[in-house]
């Protein structure tokens, strides 16, 4: 998903505002959740309804 690619910011998406960030926040979150915690992160989004991020991590590895 393009949303999790590094150096992508909100201005890269339709109607997005420039937040002034570097575009590595969601990429960093995904790396931590998947590679260090063994979990997964998913996104649910609908225009005008907002965005929901769901993070699931195992209790033990």
Hey, where are the domains in the chain? 2-56
Digit-coded pLDDT (tens) for 40-61: 999 888 888 888 999 999 997 6
pTM check: above 0.75: no
Q: pLDDT tens, 27-37?
A: 888 999 999 99
How many angstroms separate the CA atoms of 6 and 59, rounded? 28
User: Cα torsion for 27, 28, 32, 38, to the nearest 10°?
Assistant: 0
Helix/strand/coil percent split, the chain, to 5: 30, 25, 50
Kindly state the tokens that stand for 23.
């575009």
In angstroms, the CA 59 to CA 38 distance is 10
């Amino acid at each position: 998903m393009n949303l999790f690619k590094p150096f992508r910011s909100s201005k890269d998406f339709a109607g997005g505002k420039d937040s002034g960030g570097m575009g590595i926040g969601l990429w960093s979150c995904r790396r931590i959740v998947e590679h260090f915690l063994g979990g997964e992160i998913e996104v649910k989004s609908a225009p005008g309804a907002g965005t929901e991020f769901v993070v699931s991590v195992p209790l033990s590895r």
